[in-house]
Amino acid sequence: MRKNLEKVRVLDLSIKNVSCFENISISFNKKFNFICGANGIGKTSILNIIGASFISLHHIRGVHRNALSSQPGEWSIVCKLDRRIVENKLETRSFYPDEQTAPHGFYRDYAKHIIHLKTNRDFQYEGLHSIDRDPVGDESSYQMAALVGVKQGNIKPWLANRFIFKQIPDNGWDADMIENNDLALKCFSLLDRSVEFSHIDTMSLDIYVKTKH
């Protein structure tokens, strides 16, 4: 995972007349960032704008100009791509909810390194009947995932697949796959250290966690 994390890092973002923003500039910490605020303040819009910066093959919805301005919305994003510092300037002219825009992102080759997890207040239970191979993605699907987020239904099979096969000697895992798996397990405790990953039941393929209670 460390190699992939170094491939793409968002450094700065400046937004003008997009979504609810008239003019805002953000510099990101290189490790971890919290975007906090009341409903409607633009937290999700920031994530959508970043995701749209990596799209070049699609017309998309969800990134619109500010309703109080007649001017096109525009934003500038500065990223570290591998070891290069690159700035990309994009714009949107769409206004209506169903209107699309083509952001022409410069970073199309890097979309597969973006992991966008949408927040959900409720997690609907989904049972697994079997372990399957990981979905095979292409550049188009990677770009859309950067904007709309990883499908929630793909997370459980991904983790179950790795938990089961990690127990097998000589499973062919390289160092990156091992580090990816270890990082995923640590994520269970990111927000609450009293919660830990426990195990995956090999019969039901359900994920179990350890808690105080």
The model's pLDDT over 14-32, given as tens digits with 9 standing for 90+, comes to: 999 999 999 999 999 987 8
Give the HSE-up count for residue 206: Cα atoms under 13 Å, Cβ half-sphere.
7
Rounded to whole angstroms, the Cα distance separating 159 from 45 reads 29
- Boundary residue ending a domain (113, 140, 169): 113
**Whether the predicted pLDDT of 146 surpasses 80:** yes
Residue whose token pair is 């690159």: 86
Which residues, 6+ apart, have CB-to-CB distance to 49 below 8 Å? 13, 15, 18, 19, 63, 75, 77
The string of DSSP codes covering 38-52 is STTSSHHHHHHHHHH
The reply to whether 106 and 8 lie within a common domain is yes
Question: Can you give the pLDDT at residue 143?
Answer: 82
The reply to whether 96 and 19 lie within a common domain is yes
Question: Can you give the pLDDT at residue 67?
Answer: 87
The reply to whether 62 and 155 lie within a common domain is no
For the stretch 29-78, pLDDT in tens is 987 888 888 988 999 899 989 988 888 767 777 788 998 888 999 999 99
The reply to whether 16 and 107 lie within a common domain is yes
Structure tokens at 32: 């971890």
- Boundary residue ending a domain (60, 83, 113): 113
The string of DSSP codes covering 1-13 is -HHHHHHEEEEEE
- Which domain, by its residues, includes 166? 151-210
Span between the terminal Cα atoms of the chain, in Å: 32
Which residues, 6+ apart, have CB-to-CB distance to 181 below 8 Å? 162, 163, 166, 173
pLDDT above 90: percentage of residues in the chain = 26
Give the HSE-up count for residue 70: Cα atoms under 13 Å, Cβ half-sphere.
0
The reply to whether 102 and 49 lie within a common domain is yes
Q: How many residues does the chain have?
A: 213
Which residues, 6+ apart, have CB-to-CB distance to 126 below 8 Å? 152, 153, 156
For the stretch 181-201, pLDDT in tens is 898 899 899 889 999 999 999
Kind plus residue range of the DSSP H or E element containing 152:
helix 152-166
The answer to the question of residue 123 being in a domain is no
The reply to whether 108 and 23 lie within a common domain is yes
Question: Can you give the pLDDT at residue 23?
Answer: 95
The reply to whether 185 and 91 lie within a common domain is no
The reply to whether 101 and 161 lie within a common domain is no
The reply to whether 88 and 6 lie within a common domain is yes
Number of structural domains the chain divides into: 2
The reply to whether 10 and 109 lie within a common domain is yes
> Does residue 36 sit in helix, strand or coil?
coil
The reply to whether 7 and 106 lie within a common domain is yes
Rounded to whole angstroms, the Cα distance separating 159 from 61 reads 30
Question: Can you give the pLDDT at residue 107?
Answer: 60
Rounded to whole angstroms, the Cα distance separating 142 from 66 reads 27
Quick one: average pLDDT of 2-19? 80
Residue whose token pair is 């309703």: 67
Indicate the pLDDT class of residue 2, thresholds 50, 70 and 90. Answer: very low
Kind plus residue range of the DSSP H or E element containing 25:
strand 21-27
The reply to whether 85 and 163 lie within a common domain is no
Indicate the pLDDT class of residue 10, thresholds 50, 70 and 90. Answer: very high
